[in-house]
Amino acid sequence: MTILVNKNQLVVPGEVLARGSGVDVAGGVYRKKINGETEIIASMIGLVKIRKDSVGVVPLEGCYIPLEGDIIIGKIVRVGLTSWNVDIRGPYVGALRVNSVLDRDFDSLRESLEQVLDYGDIIKAQITYFDRTRDPVLTMLGRGLRKLTHGRLIDVDPVKIPRIIGKKGSMIQLLKNMTNAQIIVGQNGRIVVSANSVEKENLVISAIRKIEAEAHTSGLTDRIREYLEEENKKL
Amino acid sequence: MTQDKTSLLLDDGRRLDGRELHEIRPITMKSSVLDRADGSCYLTWGNNKIICAVYGPRELHPKHLAKPDRAIVRVEYRLATFSVNERKSPAPRRREYELSKLIKESLDSVLFLEKFPNGTIDVYITVLDADGGTRCAALTAASIALADAGIPMKGFVTGCAVGKVADKMVVDLSDVEDKDGQGDMPVAMNYNTGEITLFQCDGEFTTDEVKEGLSLAIRAIGEVYKMQKDAVLAKYTQIEESIDDLGEEEE
């Protein structure tokens, strides 16, 4: 096995990352046999990730692919008789059944679903089931899962969410501690920010935008800390 | 055709726009130019100006078009009303349907569509200014926009046309050469793997000319591919450079 690229190198789809057998593939790459030799080729724009015996690409662009267990922020796009359809910013629409929202019996003759969740409502929910043959199934029964009623909703690139959260949540903790804002992050690239003043909210949002733009660079947490310290002085 | 075919070359052997026989026109490409689209690209290729937007993978409507095992690609290639000499009716014509279809088929072969069953990837291409070779330019722009949207793909599709003018094989035909020349041969390929995804031929060529044309096209595609790669990465390298500059200033 020979690896032809460096760690954290920027690559584009089609670039050969490694040759030979014995290499595991992580995400963002595919294997192809060319002239009897196996090549590992990037399939997305991103940064090369090299582990002990695997090569992969951490994508810098991409849509949200649902994963079971993900906490997401969704928007109700259709209210049915016994279920809702939720926009989760992915290729598929999430299904939310009434028994995964209310832990009591629901009588569709006496009450309507709009009274529980109406069209356009923003919710924090969890994906319980998804296998690409059927639409993702959501639940709102769980700790912290609820309808979100206040704050500012922003959309970010879903692939940048791990960077916004940071290693073991370091980046998001930094943002919360330095601005005293409440930040709810959905894995699907939606973030709800609420703080005690509009200026603080603007500061958090501009910091998130900065993280999004510079996600592929190193030393980001330190730069964001400096940025927040500087901007906090101005407030 | 009454026009003398040799008049497409100047006395010194160069072409009407001053290019050498095997020279491509100047090309610029920029990715992420549209805010609303998931991926986009603006490309100028000589006098061609093309803008491309990609949406998806997203839910497909109408549902009956959906394939249970993979996503479909929908391509809409359109000429703007002001892109040609006489105003073009905004309704799509035969040519636009044909080009949409062949661009779709060319892109189909490089995308991992099985990752998004029941979904769709929509590619909208608008030619703002047309001056020959728009199908190859449109394919080149579409690949950049698809990569910019983060859609997994085997590699870029890169295109370039070759043709025959005054009995000589030339690279990257302009509109005049395309219309009054003896033939044109648009080629597009995945340059990394060498797989040809589009090959058309219009006019009369000998077997040797086809072989020569193909090798000229592959060489030109190699040049365009390098630009394509730089255009996709430019967005990130610019940010890196500006951060490096800031660091140096502080030191």
ipTM of the complex: 0.88
Tens of pLDDT, residue by residue over B156-180, are 999 999 999 989 999 999 999 999 9
Looking at residue B239, its pLDDT comes to: 82
> Looking at residues B195-216, what average pLDDT do you find?
95
How many whole angstroms separate alpha carbon B51 and alpha carbon A173? 41
> Looking at residues B97-116, what average pLDDT do you find?
95
Please report residues of B whose CB lies closer than 8 A to that of A13: 147, 152-156
Please report residues of A whose CB lies closer than 8 A to that of B152: 13, 28, 30, 43-44
Assess whether A140 and A179 both reside in one domain. Answer: no
The tokens of A80 are what? 């049915």
Assess whether A29 and A55 both reside in one domain. Answer: yes
B29: closest CA among B143, B121, B113, B128? Answer: B143
Which CATH number fits the domain that encloses residue A159?
Answer: 3.30.1370.10
Contact criterion met (CB below 8 Å) for A164 and A172: yes
Q: Does A27 touch chain B (CB under 8 A)?
A: no
Question: Domain total for chain B?
Answer: 1
Domain termination residue (choose one: A148, A167, A199) = A148
Which CATH number fits the domain that encloses residue A104?
Answer: 2.40.50.140
Task: Search chain B and give the residue with CA nearest A33.
Answer: B193
Please report residues of B whose CB lies closer than 8 A to that of A92: 59, 118-119
Amino acid at B78: R
B154 with A30: Cβ contact below 8 A: yes
Task: Read off the DSSP letter of residue A82.
Answer: S
Q: Work out the burial of residue A175: count CB atoms within 10 Å of its CB; fewer than 13 is exposed, 13-18 middle, 19 or more buried.
A: buried
Please report residues of B whose CB lies closer than 8 A to that of A44: 147, 150, 152-153
Three-state DSSP state, A135: coil
Q: Does A223 touch chain B (CB under 8 A)?
A: yes
Which CATH number fits the domain that encloses residue B226?
Answer: 3.30.230.70
Q: Kindly report the length of chain A.
A: 235
| A65 located within any domain | no
Assess whether A165 and A134 both reside in one domain. Answer: no
How many whole angstroms separate alpha carbon B10 and alpha carbon B17? 9
Counting one residue from A and one from B, how many pairs have CB atoms under 8 Å apart? 91
Residue B1 has pLDDT above 50, yes or no: no
Question: Domain total for chain A?
Answer: 3
Q: Which of residues 172-201 of A touch B (CB under 8 A)?
A: none
Of A15, A59, A217, Cβ closest to residue B240: A217
Domain termination residue (choose one: A125, A148, A171) = A148
How many whole angstroms separate alpha carbon A125 and alpha carbon A123? 6
Percent residues over pLDDT 70 in chain B: 95
Which residues on chain B place their C-beta less than 8 Å from a C-beta of chain A?
38-39, 56-59, 68, 71, 112, 116-119, 147-156, 190-193, 229, 232-233, 236-237, 239-240, 243
Contact criterion met (CB below 8 Å) for A39 and A13: no
B24: closest CA among B149, B128, B174? Answer: B174
Looking at residue B15, its pLDDT comes to: 92
CA distance A30 to chain B (A): 8
Residue for token pair 């190193």:
A218
State if pTM tops 0.80.
yes
Of A61, A63, A223, Cβ closest to residue B148: A61
Assess whether A22 and A91 both reside in one domain. Answer: no
| Strand partners of residue B43 | B29, B50
Q: A86: domain range?
A: 71-148
Q: Give the pLDDT band (50/70/90) at residue B196.
A: very high
| A175 located within any domain | yes
Which of B41, B69, B116, B192 would best serve as a mutation to test chain A binding (most A beta carbons within 10 A)?
B192
B57 with A63: Cβ contact below 8 A: yes
Which of B29, B58, B67 would best serve as a mutation to test chain A binding (most A beta carbons within 10 A)?
B58
Q: Mean pLDDT lowest for which of A15-29, A51-65, B76-90, B184-198?
A: A15-29
Of B71, B233, B239, Cβ closest to residue A12: B233
Q: Give the pLDDT band (50/70/90) at residue B112.
A: very high
Over its C-alpha atoms, chain B yields an Rg (Å, rounded) of 19
| Strand partners of residue A25 | A55
Please report residues of B whose CB lies closer than 8 A to that of A32: 154, 193
B155: closest CA among B113, B191, B105, B114? Answer: B191
Q: Does A213 touch chain B (CB under 8 A)?
A: yes
A63 with B118: Cβ contact below 8 A: no
Domain termination residue (choose one: A129, A148, A167) = A148
Amino acid at B44: T
Residuewise pLDDT in 10s, chain A (235 residues): 788 899 889 999 999 999 887 777 778 899 988 888 889 999 999 999 888 778 899 999 998 989 999 999 999 999 998 899 999 998 899 999 999 999 888 888 888 899 999 999 999 999 999 987 788 999 999 999 999 999 999 999 999 999 999 989 999 999 999 999 999 999 999 999 999 999 999 999 999 999 999 988 888 999 999 999 999 888 8
Task: Search chain B and give the residue with CA nearest A135.
Answer: B118
Which CATH number fits the domain that encloses residue A21?
Answer: 2.40.50.100
Phi-psi region of A228 (alpha: psi -120 to 50; beta: other; left: phi over 0): alpha
For A170-234, give the DSSP string: HHHHHHHHHH--EEEEETTTEEEEE-SSHHHHHHHHHHHHHHHHTTTSSSHHHHHHHHHHHHHHH
Q: Does A43 touch chain B (CB under 8 A)?
A: yes
Task: Search chain A and give the residue with CA nearest B244.
Answer: A217
Task: Search chain B and give the residue with CA nearest A60.
Answer: B150
Which of A45, A58, A217 would best serve as a mutation to test chain B binding (most B beta carbons within 10 A)?
A45
Assess whether A92 and A42 both reside in one domain. Answer: no
Q: B83: domain range?
A: 5-250
